[in-house]
A and B are shown apart, each in its own frame.
Chain A
Amino acid sequence: MTKRRAEELLSATTTVVVENLLKGKSVQLQNLGSLEVKEKSARTIVHPRTGERTRVPAKQQLILRPTAGIKELLNGIN
């Protein structure tokens, strides 16, 4: 496989992954984990010194849920 072909495939992969994430699906990456969009609800934060209150609006976050085996794999066990 040429480097150029690999680049094409990689960019196609990211587009498909991102599209599905935006659709609200979680994308499973084998042996690594699954990517998903997580809803974070709005919250109020208070500046500890000034007492200033700021509302952090609800947002969506892209998170990775690592698979069960990845920790062992990356820590050189096995």
Chain B
Amino acid sequence: MEKLSWTELRKSIAERINADEKEVAAFMSALIPAITKALREDRQVRITNLGTFKLQSVAPRRSVNVATGEAFTLPGYEKLVFAPESSIKELLGNPKASPIEDDNTPLQKLGAQADEIVDILGDLGQGPKATPAEPVVEEPQPVVEEPKAEEPQPVVEEPKPIVAEPIIMTSTKEEKKEKKGRTWLVVGITVLIFALLLAAAFLFVGNRFISWVENLHNKATQTEQVEQVDSNQVAEPTEATDQNNTPEVVEPAQPTQTKSNLPYPYEWKEFIGSERLSEGSRLALLARKYYNETDMWVFIYEANRNTVQHPSDIPVGTKIRLPKIPRELRDLSNPETRKLVDELIVKYKAL
């Protein structure tokens, strides 16, 4: 494609408005840095009658080394994207999408598909078009025969059903498709409801079970004090329920135990540096810049609580100290860390 270089552009602009080329040069050399500066401050740059330049966040994602099969995380980054103004789209004179005239006959649908396949094969450059087309044409034939075989009967009597039948045929096909989709949907929903009910029942029964056991235990001790004869009978269930009881108490305790593995709450004493907040910047951008992870802003905020009142309302020029974040708190692939950070995000956003 023919290019218009930066210098050519400058020349044409100068000619256009009879301006001194030096002036245009000064303007243009200021324009691009102004755009990039605004973009870095997380702002969109809209140029009237042209379009908008903006940044799009690409989230970090997991990938696999093709050679070794080793899993690794590709870091996230900001991508520069451009969205043209609608006036430009009109200038390019693009026609609108239109539905294909479709009279619902299966023959035509298959024909269109065959054409497409021929086109695709043609694009791939696989030999003459006729040879790949043959097997494609053969395929639809048996399918087409089905409606045809049913057709002859009404053909003799009334001409109208000929048109009606294929429509019904296709509609039933569509209905079948829809039915299939529906049954899957229904099955999915029932399974979901069932699972929810089960979970609710478990919670409910579990709680009641525990309280029931406690009651029994109390009663047992009471009865033991009063009557010695009954204690044998009551003692058995309490023993049994005690066994059931202990694992149930342990289960919810486990996450709290593992949670304490994270060094949190953390005392932010060490710092890797500091930065004065520039116009348009915010903690999330600093987090991305220094920790390669947007969500780390919660820890930056925690470390700067004495100077920063509200995480999303920080005056420009505020000195932000960048804490040294322990590895455990940076590792968001760890579900516990993820959970903690998510909780903190919700907490601090609600401030």
How big is chain A's contact interface, by range?
Answer: 35 or more
Do residues A12 and B16 form an inter-chain contact, with CB atoms below 8 A?
Answer: yes
Do residues A64 and B102 form an inter-chain contact, with CB atoms below 8 A?
Answer: no
Q: Name which of B79-87, B146-154, B190-198, B303-311 contacts chain A.
A: B79-87
Residues from chain B with a CB closer than 8 A to the CB of A62 are 51, 82, 84, 88-89, 92
Q: Which of A25, A31, A74 touches B40 (beta carbons < 8 Å)?
A: A74
Do residues A35 and B3 form an inter-chain contact, with CB atoms below 8 A?
Answer: no
A75 CB, nearest partner CB in chain B, Å: 5
Cα(A65)–Cα(B208), bound, Å: 64
User: Is B164 engaged at the interface, CB distance under 8 Å to the other chain?
Assistant: no
Known: A18-B91, A51-B174, A59-B92. A12 touches B80 (CB 8 A): no
Do residues B27 and A24 form an inter-chain contact, with CB atoms below 8 A?
Answer: no
Do residues A15 and B92 form an inter-chain contact, with CB atoms below 8 A?
Answer: no
User: For residues 257 through 292 of chain B, which have their beta carbon under 8 Å from a beta carbon of chain A?
Assistant: 288-289
User: For residues 31 through 56 of chain A, which have their beta carbon under 8 Å from a beta carbon of chain B?
Assistant: 31-37, 44-45, 49-56
Do residues B80 and A66 form an inter-chain contact, with CB atoms below 8 A?
Answer: yes
Interface string of B43-74 (1 = CB under 8 A from A): 00001111101010000000000000000000
Do residues A63 and B82 form an inter-chain contact, with CB atoms below 8 A?
Answer: yes
Residues from chain B with a CB closer than 8 A to the CB of A32 are 32, 35-36, 53, 80
Residues from chain B with a CB closer than 8 A to the CB of A44 are 100, 112, 116
Cα(A32)–Cα(B36), bound, Å: 8
Residues from chain A with a CB closer than 8 A to the CB of B9 are 13, 16-17, 20, 27-28
User: Is B350 engaged at the interface, CB distance under 8 Å to the other chain?
Assistant: no
- Give the B interface residue count (CB, 8 A): 59
Counted as pairs of residues, one from A and one from B, with CB atoms less than 8 Å apart, the total is 154
Do residues A64 and B79 form an inter-chain contact, with CB atoms below 8 A?
Answer: no
Do residues A26 and B16 form an inter-chain contact, with CB atoms below 8 A?
Answer: no
Cα(A12)–Cα(B36), bound, Å: 20
User: Is B4 engaged at the interface, CB distance under 8 Å to the other chain?
Assistant: yes
Residues from chain B with a CB closer than 8 A to the CB of A36 are 1
Cα(A29)–Cα(B271), bound, Å: 40
Known: A36-B1, A54-B97. A74 touches B39 (CB 8 A): yes
Q: Name which of B18-26, B124-132, B240-248 contacts chain A.
A: B18-26
Cα(A60)–Cα(B82), bound, Å: 15
B58 CB, nearest partner CB in chain A, Å: 10
Known: A18-B49, A22-B91, A26-B3. A71 touches B99 (CB 8 A): no
Residues from chain B with a CB closer than 8 A to the CB of A26 are 1-4
Residues from chain A with a CB closer than 8 A to the CB of B96 are 57
- Of chain B, the residue at the smallest CB distance from A8 is B17
Known: A51-B177, A52-B102, A53-B102. A16 touches B32 (CB 8 A): no
Do residues A14 and B6 form an inter-chain contact, with CB atoms below 8 A?
Answer: no
Known: A9-B24, A25-B3. A16 touches B80 (CB 8 A): no
- Of chain A, the residue at the smallest CB distance from B36 is A73
Residues from chain A with a CB closer than 8 A to the CB of B209 are none
Do residues A55 and B92 form an inter-chain contact, with CB atoms below 8 A?
Answer: no
Residues from chain B with a CB closer than 8 A to the CB of A5 are 23
Residues from chain B with a CB closer than 8 A to the CB of A76 are 40, 288-289
- 3 pairs of A and B residues whose beta carbons are closest in the complex: A64-B82, A59-B94, A62-B84
- Give B residues with C-beta under 8 Å from A: 1-6, 9, 12-13, 16-17, 19, 23-24, 26-28, 31-32, 35-36, 39-40, 47-51, 53, 55, 77-82, 84, 88-89, 91-100, 102, 109, 112, 116, 174, 177-178, 181, 288-289
Known: A64-B81, A76-B40. 18 other contacts (CB 8 A): A11-B49, A13-B31, A14-B49, A24-B2, A25-B2, A25-B4, A28-B3, A28-B6, A32-B32, A32-B36, A36-B1, A53-B100, A53-B102, A53-B112, A55-B98, A62-B51, A66-B79, A74-B80
